[in-house]
A and B are shown apart, each in its own frame.
Chain A
Amino acid sequence: MKNELENIIKQGVARAVAQEALREELDSVHDELVREGKIPQQHKGRVIAMWPRIAAAAAVILLAIGFWWMQKPAQGTAIYAAHFEPLSTEVVSGSKGAEVDRKNGWVAAYNQGDYKRASEALNRCLSRQECPPFYNVYLGIAYLEQGMVEAAVETLVPLTEDSGLFIARRNLARYYLSLAYVQQGNYALSIEQLDAILASDNTNNPYYKKAKALRDELS
């Protein structure tokens, strides 16, 4: 029985390893299809069952009343898509933490567009204080690209405040925070961040031009 149990344990472990690899692959396919808009994004709430059609019809009427509110974020999403460009990891390559970055894997995941894995790795790295606080900008971007706008705002806001970052880097955080606000349809807060960039930044900085273009569109 002992040998048989040992074999079963080995096979169980091998099965768990294979399942883990398959799950990661399926998660990545799932996220990709969500990003492409081919399958719906996962919500925390319950999916509406088929039977309460009358309740659904009432909800449609309420939605129609609040339609103009819906326009803003939808429009915001389009503006976001037109202006978003991921921050290059070149900004931090060759820094002291380059070896940590390589082992941690966030750079590879981020550059492959696997933002879920990138945010997990960045969270791990930041919580252990192995990565500099500036990397929160990449974490914020990773959240934005996963549609986790509130998490992006929470991550980016501290960097735009008295974060001890150089102004140029603080302005990078401001730019992505302004995009997060655009996603939320909160243009006033977005403009506030953009104005701060335009007031402080060097006009040769590419993010000055990006901020200017976005500011002009929001005006």
Chain B
Amino acid sequence: MKAIYEPAYLAILRHVSANSGHEHDAKDMLHKAWEVFERKIADPVFKLTVPAEGYLLGVAKRLWLKQLDQKRKINVTSSEVPDAPEEEVQGDERENAIRRVVELLAQEAFQVCRKVIINFYRGWSMEEIADDMGFSGSDSAKSKKAKCMKKLRAICRKDPVLLQLFDQ
């Protein structure tokens, strides 16, 4: 992992630094690109035709340009967009819906619930969750986890992006 990480990070850092970014942006883009990479290599149909660090750079470049575009920091013309796997960033509807759930989980106001849910699905016991979060005990953690899942379902059912995806 380190052998791929080092050259990929340095290349992404060069690109991001030259395009209004900081070191933490480079790290963030690499980590996001790596998530895409992990999903792709789990797919038996996927064939990696370039070195892994080149693939990561391509995905990170596209993600960074997309982020810059969203922030309207710069105007990106199509000729400036480097060769990179477009489908990794776009995805299909189902993939977009899953990503949306991940985004909803990452919302600032949902952080306590996110931690409870994630640690539960990582296999932590209710005692451990209670201990980590400062709850009074395992019953309290269990009840919090149930409430959090209920809240997540409610948020998802009302989310305009998910509703739009399901309407199609």
Contact = CB atoms under 8 A, between A and B. Distances in A.
B102 A12 contact: yes
Given A5-B166, A30-B5, A47-B17, A13 B38 contact: no
A149 B14 CA distance: 27
Interface stretch (B23-31, B59-67, B136-144): B23-31
Nearest to B9: A39
Contact of A29 (B1, B153, B156): B1
A26 B156 contact: no
A12 B134 contact: no
Q: Is the interface of A mostly helix, strand, loop or mixed?
A: helix
Interface stretch (B47-55, B79-87, B115-123): B115-123
A46 to B, nearest CB: 6
A70 interface: no
Q: How large is the interface on A (under 10, 10 to 19, 20 to 34, 35 or more residues)?
A: 35 or more
Dominant secondary structure of chain B at its interface with chain A: helix
Contact of A26 (B5, B22, B105, B122): B5
Interface string A17-50: 1111111011101101100001110110111111
Chain B interface size range:
35 or more
Q: Which of A8, A32, A45, A103 has the most CB of B within 10 A?
A: A8
30 contacts: A4-B166, A5-B157, A5-B162, A8-B94, A8-B101, A9-B152, A12-B100, A12-B101, A13-B101, A13-B105, A13-B118, A14-B121, A16-B105, A16-B117, A16-B118, A17-B121, A18-B38, A22-B34, A25-B1, A26-B30, A30-B27, A39-B6, A39-B13, A40-B23, A42-B23, A47-B21, A47-B22, A48-B17, A49-B17, A49-B20
